[in-house]
Amino acid sequence: MSDAPFLTINGRRFDLTGVDPQLSLLRWLKTQRLHGTKEGCADGDCGACTVALLHRDQDGTSSYQAVNSCLLPMGMLAGRSLLTVEGLAKGDQLHPAQQAMVDCAGSQCGYCTPGFVMSLFAGCYSDAADALADSAIAGNLCRCTGYAPIRRAAQQLRRQSCAGDAFAQRLAVYSGDGECADLPGFHRPRSVDEALARKQAEPEACWIAGATDLGVDLSHGRKRAGGYICLDRIAKLQQLSIEPQRVLIGAGVSLSRLERELAGVFPALDQMLPWFAARQVRNQATLGGNLGSASPIGDLLPVLLALDASVHLRGPEGAREVAISRYFLDYRWTARAADELIVAVELPRREGLINASLKVAKRQTDDISIVAAAFALALAADGSIAHVRLAYGGVAATPQRALAVESLLIGRHLDIDSVEVAAAALHSAFAPIDDHRASAAYRSGLAADLFRQFAATVVP
């Protein structure tokens, strides 16, 4: 048997024996009197609880991932290493991210500040083009500053380098998770087979990937499952293969990684990902989790519908592939059997496929969709429409294609007439609901107008 479960924080090892595995990291930090990490919502929406998780990719590169500690149950963290705001300064010597915030007057009440510091800190050690851009801090709410000084702090950091400092060195020698025992009720298999066997043994146990959906319930003490099978250590789920005919995305690939590594392949995906939550969530959230939740407002689902994805499942009976068009059955009910695991999603690459996506929310940055739409179109040699997909989220109980309107368009040219005919049909294609995000009328209107907006980019 391996060692007792532990967690390394700021280089110090904490024994997790006896810790409630469903407790969020944030609440547990408070029990350790590590008060620097703040609770602003316990929902994943404010970023005040941001910590930097050490993460090692399959290719062996390590990084600091800004994540929301309120969404991470302790059971997922056995063996892992992370930094909190208390771990950055050496005595009076501030980390550059902290110094920049001080220099630029980035704090007023200070309650959001540790979260911003940790987001900026993680950005300092990333070579992504947007590592210290607005997108690095869009998941951190501040009610005092109006963000201008924090933006200046990020700018100041862009002119600096942390290469070679103690934190960079720690990354360089980081060799991944420490091996240790699981916390009770949280299983952390290393392979798909092991995961499936565990599910057979414990049918009430629930798959958990990035925990950005399940973590919200856990954080609020709601809906606790009998057990959890963590998917984040299964190499197979981390595959991302870009082939000439298709792209295969492992169910456990994080959205941040998709953003980076799949950029330029599918415009519809590129256009949607930046509007999906914010950095901390995208660092954890997976494509499998979005499909697993099967929410009518899951933003990647219309994109998968538009791109004719197929879902690769593995269950006790073996592997099968389900076309995305047959995947969503009813509200949060899918063709996947409870004991099946989503292993990957396959996206065919079609020559000349025009595709795009649009998302409308009350607040454009980091908000849940009112309506999300993804469109794909291929034209025949004569310019008529040979293939079309009009897929929507937020207009029905499941993500849906407007099949009747698609057939209406086939064979026609995409001229003003066709656009208007299709838009009129789209207006009444769905029967959306009224809720606190928007009225049904607005949603119906968007179904039509987002298509008009897309069409205008194809035939201006």
Residues that bind ligand FES (CB under 6 A): 39-49, 68, 70, 107-113, 142-145
- Could you tell me whether strands 310-315 and 318-323 are parallel, antiparallel, or unpaired per DSSP bridges? antiparallel
Residue 138: contacted member of ligand FES, ligand FAD, another protein, none (CB under 5 to 8 Å, by partner type): another protein
Which of 106/399 has CB closer to another protein? 106
With contacts defined by CB under 8 A, name the span among 124-132, 145-153, 292-300, 410-418 that binds another protein. 145-153
Q: What's the rounded Cα separation, in Å, for the pair 249 and 246?
A: 10
With contacts defined by CB under 6 A, name the span among 7-15, 285-293, 345-353, 401-409 that binds ligand FAD. 285-293
Residue 70: contacted member of another protein, ligand FAD, ligand FES, none (CB under 5 to 8 Å, by partner type): ligand FES
Nearest alpha-carbon partner for 89 in 102, 72, 70, 104: 102
Under rule CB under 6 A, residue 162 binds ligand FAD: no
Q: What's the rounded Cα separation, in Å, for the pair 195 and 182?
A: 14
- Least separation in angstroms between CB 222 and another protein: 11
| Tally of CB atoms within 10 A around 334 | 20
DSSP string, 188-252: --SSHHHHHHHHHH-TTEEEESS-TTHHHHHHTT----SEEEE-TT-GGGG-EEE-SSEEEEETT
Phi-psi region of 370 (alpha: psi -120 to 50; beta: other; left: phi over 0): alpha
Distances (CA, A) of 110 to 38, 116, 146, 386: 10, 10, 13, 57
Q: What's the rounded Cα separation, in Å, for the pair 373 and 375?
A: 7
**Of the candidates 75, 87, 106, 298, which one interacts with ligand FAD according to CB under 6 A?**
298
Which of 86/406 has CB closer to another protein? 86
Under rule CB under 6 A, residue 214 binds ligand FAD: yes
Q: What's the rounded Cα separation, in Å, for the pair 200 and 231?
A: 15
Q: How many residues at the interface with another protein, by CB under 8 A? A: 77
| 3-class state of residue 363 by DSSP | coil
Residue 352: contacted member of ligand FES, ligand FAD, another protein, none (CB under 5 to 8 Å, by partner type): none
Under rule CB under 8 A, residue 364 binds another protein: yes
- Least separation in angstroms between CB 24 and ligand FES: 8
Reading the block at residue 175, the tokens are: 């060799």
Helical (H) or strand (E) element with 389: strand 385-393
- Least separation in angstroms between CB 10 and ligand FAD: 25
Residue matched to tokens 């309120």: 70
Residue 358: contacted member of another protein, ligand FES, ligand FAD, none (CB under 5 to 8 Å, by partner type): another protein
With contacts defined by CB under 8 A, name the span among 28-36, 225-233, 234-242, 339-347 that binds another protein. 28-36
> Among residue numbers 314 through 373, which ones bind ligand FAD (CB under 6 A)?
341-342, 368
Under rule CB under 8 A, residue 141 binds another protein: yes
Residue 299: contacted member of another protein, ligand FES, ligand FAD, none (CB under 5 to 8 Å, by partner type): ligand FAD
Which residues make up the interface to ligand FAD (CB under 6 A)? 44-45, 206-214, 216, 231, 251, 276-277, 281, 284-286, 288-290, 292-293, 298-299, 341-342, 368
